[in-house]
Chains A and B, each alone.
Chain A
Amino acid sequence: MATLKRLTEIAKKRPIMLDGATGTELQKAGLPQGVSPELWCTQHPEVIRGIHAAYTDAGADIIYTCTFGANAAKLSQYQHTGARELNKKLALLAREAAGEGVLIAGDIGPTGYFVEPFGTLTVEEAVAIFKEQATGLLEGGVDLLVIETMMDIQEARAALIAAKEIGDIYTIVTMTYEERGRTLNGTDPVTALITLQGLGADAVGCNCSTGPDDMQAFIAAMKPFSKVPLVAKPNAGMPHTVDGRTVFNMGPEEFASFGRGLVKSGADMIGGCCGSTPGHIRTLSRALEKERPLTPPSEPVSAVTSTRRAVFLDRKKRLIVVGERINPTGKSRLAQELSEGSMVYLKQLAREQASQGADLLDINVGAAHIDEKKTIEQVIYSLAPFTECPLVIDSSNASVIERALRLYPGRALINSVSGETEKLERLLPVMARYGAMAILLPIGDGGVPETAQERKDIVCSVLQKAKSYGLDISDFVIDGLTLSVSSNPQSVAHTLEVIHWSSSRLKAHTIIGLSNVSFGLPGRRWINAAFLEMARDKGLSIVIADPSHITGPAPPAEEASYLDLARAVLVGRDRNAARFIAHFSSAKESPKKETGTEALSPSETLHSAILNGDKEIVAGIITGALRCGYVPAALVDDVIIPGILEVGDLFDKKAYFLPQLIASAEATKEAFSVLAPYLEKEGDAKRDRGTILIATVKGDIHDIGKNIVALMLRNHRFNVIDLGKDVSSEAIIAGIKRHKPAIVGLSALMTTTMTGMKDVIDLVENEGLECKFIVGGAVVTSSYARSIGAAYAKDSVEAVRVTEQLIKKE
C-alpha cells in the first residue's frame, strides 16, 4: 500500500502533519449561513483550492477533502442528490490544489442521523451511505480515507465497515470527546481505540471539541494500548463570543507550543480542527520538525469493549468473571420473554449480574421456539446501550455470531471457536473482519478429546491457522474444557493441565465454564469453589459462572472442611465421590445464621419496624407480642400511632424522604391489617375518624400522589373511599351522595384537568350537598384552592394534618 509506505517513511523522521480547519476558513472567505459548504465550494472552487494550497504551503503532509458533510443523508437537507459525483469532484479539486507532493484524505463526517441501537438508521443503511461517499472519493483519487468528528461509536463503525468493504484502503478514524473525556454516548478514548483498531482502522484518534492542551490526556490514555498510529487534531482552543462573533482563543504560537506535548503523549499525526488556520499549521510544523514520535507499545493487548468500557484481560491481575445467566436453557421466563420479543427480564438479568460483579456478560439465545438470529439482534440492541459490560456472543451457529459481530457496537468475545474444520473456516475470517476476540474450545472433528495432549494439539493447530488471518494468541482465550467430574474423574486433571500449559507456555488467557465440573453432584458450590481455586493456581484468568457464586461473601471458617471434601473428589482421592455424596446426602449445605432482635421488647421491635418500614416482619412481631399478652388497642395507641406521628415529624424535618415515609406507612398498614380482627372483637369501630372520599379528576391519569394520600389517611384511621383516577364530576357527586363523606379530596396534575376540581365543587353546591374539600397535585397551589373554596395540602403528611383540622371544625 503506497500510502502506508509513505506515511511510515515520514513517521521515521517526525510526526505526520495534517491540515487545519476548513469550515472556519470557508466562513472567513464568505460562506453564507444556511448553505451546504460542499455545494458552495463547487460554485466557488477558487476558495477551497486556495485553502488546500495554503495548508500544503504550511507543511501539511495530508490534506482533507472538503467533503465532511457530503454524504447522501446530509445533502438531502439541501435537496441535493448525487453524493458520489460531488465527492469525486471535491476530491479532484483537492488533488489539483495540493499537487502530487502531499496525500489527499477523503473526508467522511457524520450523517446527522443516529445509527441503531441509538437511532433508527440501520447499520446497513449507514454502511450504504458511507460506501457511496467513499466510492466517489476514491474515484476522485484520494490516497486514504478519514472518518472524523464521530460522536457515536456505532456510526464510526458503520463508516469503517463501509471503507473496509470497498477495498484495502488506509483509513483513519477520529472521534470527538468533550472535556470530560467521553463522547455524548459515553465512549472514552481507550474504549474507542480498542473497538476501532480491532475493526481494522489504520490510525485512530480524536479531533474537534477540545484544544490541544486537553487533547494530550486523551492521547496519553490511548498510547499504552495502541497497535496503530494515534491522531490528534484539536481546535485552536475553546470558542467564545466577542462582539457577537465566535472566536477561538489560541493563536498559532500558543497552539504550536502544545505540539511537543502531544508528541510526547503519543500522537503520531497532528493537525488542527475548528479555528486553526494555515498559520497554526505552519508554526506547528516548524515546532515539530525535530520531534520523533514515540515507539508503539510492544506488549500485546487483549481487551474487549462495550460502548462505555474496555475490559482488559490481564493474566497477572484479577480473575475476570463472565456472567452466565443470560441463557434460556432451563429458564422458562427468559425463554418465554425472548420468544415474545420482550427484553425486560433480560435487562434485569444483565443488571443483576453486573451489580454482582460480572465483568462480561455471556449472551446465549439458542432454544426451541426462539428465532436465534432475530433474537440476537434484539438482545444486542437492548443490552449494548444498557450495560457497561462487554458482551460474549455465545452460539453454535456461525451465521448468528457473524450477524451479532456486525451489529455489536464494541469489541466482543466469541463463545466459541473450535478445531472443528467447517466451523473454524467459517469463523476465523469473521473474527478477523470484525476484530473480535474468541474463546478457543479444544474440540476437533473427532469430538471432545480426552487427554490434555490432544487438546493442546488442537489449540496449536487453530492458532497456526489463525495466523493467516492476522490473528495471534492475544486474540484468543483458551478454554480448559471442563467436564463433569462425576462422569469422568480424570477430566479435571486434563483440564488443569491445559490451563497450566496455556498460561505458562503460550502466555495465553484461559477460561473455564465453572459449573460444568459439579454437574450431577450434590453440594455443587463446594465442588465449584474448590475447582476454581485449583484452576486459579494453574493460571486461570477468566471464569464463566453465576457471578453471585464467585463474588459473594467467603464461606464461614467452619465450612472449610467441605472444601477439603470437594478437593478430594477433584484430585481423585475420593473415588466416585462416595464420601462427598454421603456427606451431602446427610447434611444441610449451608446452615443459615439466625438473625433476631433479641435485646428489644415486642413493642420496641414493632416501633422500630414501623420507623424502618420493615413491612415483612410486622406480622411476626405482632403475633409474638399478642402471644406475650400485649393488648391490641394498646399496641395501636402506644406504639403504632406514635410511630406514624414520629415518621411524619421526621418527614417534615426532612430527616426522612418519600420512600421512607411510604415504607413506614406500608408497615403501619400491615400492622393494622394484622390487628383488624382483634380490634373488631374489642369493639374498636368507634375509632373510625370519619369518611373521606378521594379521587383524581376527569381527564387526569396521574394518581400516585392520590394513592399515597389514601394510604396515609387510612393509617390515621380515616375511612377512605378511593374512586380512582380519571373520575368524572358526575361519578364523584354520585359517590358523595352514596358515602356521605365528611371531606372530599381531589387531585390533579395538569392545568387542563385541575379545572375539573371547580366543576365538582360547583356541582356539589348546585345539588345542595354538604361536604368540605381538600385539593392537591403538582400544578395546584394554595391560592387556586382558596379561589375554588377548598383547603390545600402540599403532600400526604400535610393532607392528614389538614384533614384532621377540617374534621375538628365540623
Chain B
Amino acid sequence: MDDPIVFDTVPIQIPTDAIYRRLGYRRASTRLSDEQKEKVEQAIEYGMSLVRLQGTYLRIPIQEKKTGHVSLLTGVVLESRNLAHLLKGSCEIIMMASTAGSHIIDAIQADADEGNLARAVVLDALASEMTDGALDWIVERLNREFRRENKRLTRRRFSAGYGDFALENQRYIHSALRLKSLGISITEYFILIPEKSVTAVCGLEHFL
C-alpha cells in the first residue's frame, strides 16, 4: 500500500449557490434585500480567508468481496452490504478526506460566543459546502488521472455513518489516511475534529 497523497490546497471556486441552498434560500420564494445579500456575501468573503481546504486520498487493493463485507489487502474487513454492492466491479478502494481547517471553526465559535450567529451560520454553511466540494474535486481529479490507466471511480461514494456502513469505520479511515498529519483528530465517538472534516470511500474500476 502506498502512502496517502495529499492535496495541500484544493482550489475550488466558492460554491455560492450551494451555500445559499444549504441556508434555505429558494430562488422562487426567498426575498432578500440588497443590504441583507451584502451581509451574506461579506460573511462568505470573510469565511474564505479562514478556510484552508486540504484533501488526501489513498488507493488500497481489494482482496475479497462478499455479499456483506469487503476485505482489503491490508487485512482490514469493511462490513457493509451497501459498500460491497458499490464495489462489485472494483479492484481497488479509494479512501479520501477533506477538511476546511481549524481557523474557520474557531471563527464560527467566536461569532456564536459573541452573539453574531447570523454570520456564524453562513460560515458554517460555507465550511460544509467547501469540504463537500473538495471531495467532488478530488473525485474529478482522480478520474482525469486514472483515465490514462483506463480506470474510473465508481459514480457513488460512501461515508462512514451512512446506511449500513458504520461510523466506527471512521477510526480505520482516519488511521489509513494519516489524517493526524492534516491536523485532524478523532474522538471516542468517531467525530472528526476540526468539525468540518469529511471522509468517503469509493471504488476504482476498469473502463473495459
Q: Do the beta carbons of A612 and B36 come within 8 Å of each other?
A: yes
Chain A residues, CB < 8 A from B207: 239, 241, 245-246
Q: Do the beta carbons of A657 and B26 come within 8 Å of each other?
A: yes
Q: Do the beta carbons of B25 and A702 come within 8 Å of each other?
A: no
Q: Contact partner of B8 among A112, A120, A651, A750, CB < 8 A? A: A120
Task: Name which of B65-73, B80-88, B187-195 contacts chain A.
Answer: B187-195
Roughly how many angstroms separate A239 CA and B5 CA in the complex, as a whole number? 28
Roughly how many angstroms separate A656 CA and B208 CA in the complex, as a whole number? 50
Chain A residues, CB < 8 A from B189: 699-700, 750, 752-753
Q: Do the beta carbons of A184 and B116 come within 8 Å of each other?
A: no
Interface residue A18 (Cβ < 8 Å from any Cβ of B):
no
A276 CB to nearest chain B CB (Å): 14
Q: Do the beta carbons of B32 and A657 come within 8 Å of each other?
A: yes
Task: Name which of A310-318, A365-373, A661-669 contacts chain B.
Answer: A661-669
Q: Do the beta carbons of A657 and B13 come within 8 Å of each other?
A: no
Interface residue B50 (Cβ < 8 Å from any Cβ of A):
yes
Instruction: Please encode chain B, from 14 to 55, with 1 for each CB lying within 8 Å of some chain A CB and 0 for all others.
Output: 000000100111100111110110011001011011100000
Q: Do the beta carbons of B190 and A654 come within 8 Å of each other?
A: no
Q: Do the beta carbons of A657 and B25 come within 8 Å of each other?
A: yes
Chain A residues, CB < 8 A from B141: 151, 184
Chain A residues, CB < 8 A from B35: 612
Interface residue B144 (Cβ < 8 Å from any Cβ of A):
yes
Chain A residues, CB < 8 A from B2: 77
Q: Do the beta carbons of A750 and B191 come within 8 Å of each other?
A: yes
Interface residue A114 (Cβ < 8 Å from any Cβ of B):
yes
Roughly how many angstroms separate A68 CA and B148 CA in the complex, as a whole number? 10
A373 CB to nearest chain B CB (Å): 20
**A119-B148 CB under 8 A given contacts A244-B208, A655-B29, A659-B36:** no
A337 CB to nearest chain B CB (Å): 11
Interface residue B120 (Cβ < 8 Å from any Cβ of A):
yes
Interface residue A495 (Cβ < 8 Å from any Cβ of B):
no
Interface residue B64 (Cβ < 8 Å from any Cβ of A):
no
Interface residue A469 (Cβ < 8 Å from any Cβ of B):
no
Interface residue B76 (Cβ < 8 Å from any Cβ of A):
no
Q: Contact partner of B11 among A185, A209, A348, CB < 8 A? A: A185
Roughly how many angstroms separate A239 CA and B25 CA in the complex, as a whole number? 38
**A656-B9 CB under 8 A given contacts A246-B150, A344-B50, A666-B116:** no
Q: Contact partner of B144 among A176, A653, A751, CB < 8 A? A: A176
Interface residue A803 (Cβ < 8 Å from any Cβ of B):
no
A310 CB to nearest chain B CB (Å): 17
Roughly how many angstroms separate A381 CA and B52 CA in the complex, as a whole number? 12
Q: Do the beta carbons of B45 and A351 come within 8 Å of each other?
A: yes
Size of the B side of the interface (Cβ < 8 Å), in residues, is 63
Chain A residues, CB < 8 A from B206: 33
Chain A positions 337-390 with a Cβ under 8 Å from a chain B Cβ: 344-345, 347-348, 350-352, 355, 381, 385-386
**A27-B150 CB under 8 A given contacts A118-B8, A613-B118, A657-B24:** yes
Roughly how many angstroms separate A120 CA and B5 CA in the complex, as a whole number? 8
Roughly how many angstroms separate A176 CA and B144 CA in the complex, as a whole number? 10
Q: Contact partner of A666 among B43, B118, B168, B208, CB < 8 A? A: B118
Interface residue A116 (Cβ < 8 Å from any Cβ of B):
yes
Q: Do the beta carbons of A114 and B7 come within 8 Å of each other?
A: yes
A210 CB to nearest chain B CB (Å): 12
Instruction: Please encode chain A, from 666 to 689, with 1 for each CB lying within 8 Å of some chain B CB and 0 for all others.
Output: 100100000000000000000000
B170 CB to nearest chain A CB (Å): 9
Chain A residues, CB < 8 A from B24: 651, 654, 657-658
17 contacts between A and B (CB under 8 A): A33-B208, A119-B6, A149-B148, A151-B144, A274-B147, A347-B49, A381-B9, A658-B121, A660-B36, A666-B117, A699-B189, A701-B187, A704-B124, A707-B112, A708-B121, A750-B167, A750-B191
Q: A699-B187, A699-B188 are in contact. List 17 more A-B contacts (CB 8 A).
A: A110-B145, A116-B8, A120-B8, A176-B144, A184-B141, A245-B207, A246-B207, A385-B9, A651-B24, A655-B30, A657-B25, A660-B32, A662-B117, A662-B118, A662-B121, A750-B189, A753-B189
Binding site for B on A (CB under 8 A): 23, 27, 33-34, 68-69, 77, 109-110, 112-114, 116-120, 149, 151, 176, 178, 184-186, 209, 239, 241, 244-246, 274, 307, 344-345, 347-348, 350-352, 355, 381, 385-386, 612-613, 650-651, 653-660, 662-663, 665-666, 669, 699-704, 707-708, 711, 750-753
Binding site for A on B (CB under 8 A): 2, 5-11, 13, 20, 23-26, 29-33, 35-36, 39-40, 43, 45-46, 48-50, 91, 103, 108, 112, 115-118, 120-122, 124-125, 137, 140-141, 144-145, 147-148, 150, 161, 167-168, 187-191, 193, 195, 206-208
